[in-house]
Every structure is written in structure tokens, then in C-alpha cells.
Amino acid sequence: MESVTIKRKCFICDKEVQDGIDVLGKFICEECQKRLINLSPFDKNYDFYRQKMIDIWEDYMKDVGYENWV
């Protein structure tokens, strides 16, 4: 029997890959996970990754029906 490889689209980089994790319902690939873990506030891409994580949180809060969480 052949194994089936399921690829998913990363919420951060939009690449379709097999390995990663779900964070509040959004898939993040291993490459982006590593970038996030090693990210410094002084990194030129910090604001991009920060906003992506905020987007995940806001989308999650919207789905659970809580609009004014800030």
C-alpha cells in the first residue's frame, strides 16, 4: 500500500509542506517555526512575524465570539 503525503499551506510563508504545527487553528511550517523561535526584536523581519502571530490570535478570538479582547 502506498503512503499518502498530505501537504498543507503555511499561514506565514504560504509554502505547501508536510511538516509543521497548528497554532490556534492555523498551520505553521517547521521552517517558520524555527524562524519564530530564533527571532530577535532587532531582526528586520520581526514586525512581519509579529503581525502574523497577531493575525492568528485575532482570528481565533473572532471565532470564539469575543470581539473586544484588547
The 10s digit of each residue's pLDDT in 8-56 is: 999 999 999 999 999 999 999 999 999 999 999 999 999 999 999 999 9
* CB-based contact 39:49 (threshold 8 Å): yes
What predicted TM-score, i.e. pTM, was given to this entire model? 0.79
Distance CA 4, CA 26 (A): 22
Domain residue ranges in the chain = 8-68
Three-class DSSP category at 29? strand
Distance CA 40, CA 54 (A): 16
